[in-house]
Structure 1
């Protein structure tokens, strides 16, 4: 099609449309395929409206199909490097062994559970040991952050969130963001194997950076919410006289938080925005949190509805968040209807009487608030 990809289209009888097939990427070829090997397969066009699963998966049953083949080409010869000496070969092998050992240790760290206190202690000791052995190694730090985020037995939420922030900062500090930005600002040659390998490695680094920024933002917002809840509880306490000194301390801490945490959250959010689409289903919850903190509840609800629409499979986990936003806005009738209907467990478009239509009418006015 001339643009590197082919998009689905509807053709009426008699109309033709041209397309071409490019070679598969090298890493997607079977591992045991030698140069000169012939790979055979089939390609099909069109879909059957009324067919069972077996017929849908059988290309020969489709309206149009044909056989294709691909000859595995020889490996490229790097004339500049030449064959290399036996010394350099030994060095490459030794480096590969070290990398395999390092990756195996990180893999073991990822498999350790943290359900009991003893298991948590073992995990922390191994993580600290690996950080000393492989300092500033981003995949290791990202794995540590991932393990912290997946932890379930949390006793002190604020302390836990602070640990997540520290782990996220270690990931962020281990990445040269300036070099990363320079690389992605240039168009790279997809046919150059070395350039393609570097691109994939840096894409993985970018994803690890984005995940660290995302988790840090969630932790910052949760700390702020928890401290605000503690302050509210102190104010509403019946024994105000006995807790007056504590209230003053909490008020002092809160005033400090008002000057630090909101700025840290916004600074972190703006950094995340440089690397990813902050309204996507993967990172959109942080946008919802930001809009809610700024009392732009209509915008927060609209972003959340877009996330649910794009990611219907995971709509269930956003159910309570949507209900709380509806209650906070004051749309009790919609919140009640959602609870009774339970339409959020499926795509909003599948429920003909869902409140999605009413939301669209209201969100247009609320989005600017």
Structure 2
């Protein structure tokens, strides 16, 4: 891919790096998501490493570790104002046809632990463990990893009280697919927990084996050869299966990729990038999501990070045909937009999503980071 595509993605990610007295942080976006979202930051770690900004990874993680709740839950997000207000203001301005220029991030920032002040998040802790490993691997700074070993063990042990029959049970709005009523036993959260347990050695071999077997029993779908996303439901989501392939978790990567390659998640449109098939029912969706126009937010809308992640996995699996399709599609989109958007329509041209109340976030850190990681991998 031409170098200027890398530079546009790099510029998009760098735009959202903000230095403050408390440290250097990454916001999720530039408008409604101009907040230090823990999930978005952690999943942007490989992109930050790809452009040599490991200092941001270290600084952001250290703030999160220092500001854990009494039970070792890391902040869901950090901001100088209520993050919900940012989103509401952006939507109102969009409806009125006004500039969505975000309120400035001030020096005095505070941690927030609950979604909308009500719901406890499930994936932040385990994603901090992931980002810390990315930092250590990129820098070789194993001493830093060892220095915080007990901090990492504490945020891993946070999940002990969340277990039901050996798997993490979560509430509403608890992971990245927060537009749907995705609660209970969720594949992606448990997969990330398994990944962290394997990488850090926080479970012994017997415990790890038992955990892996429980996840396979609960989520593996013999019909498709893929992992379902919600226990007891038919929905299959792209992100968990890509992650399992990427890190060689639970099933043979080549077999799992071939099954994904044949599935609607890869075959329904020209390229993969939408989140879930079949899409969620109308009853699954929260009313505020439907009002904003995001009925298919985690269904049939395309995500920049999922398109890029699919491209990376296709390349690693030596699927040249699919990688080239994704590469060419991204080149077209990025050259057209000169930035990385959050979500796109599923039509061939993939215009960024826009409704009367909502405009796809740009530049979007998470998507830019995964595009950078895809390009670095393909080098």
Query: What's the TM-score, normalizing by structure 1?
Result: 0.28
Q: Higher strand proportion, which one?
A: 2
Task: From the CA coordinates, give the structure whose radius of gyration is larger.
Answer: 1
Query: What's the TM-score, normalizing by structure 2?
Result: 0.28
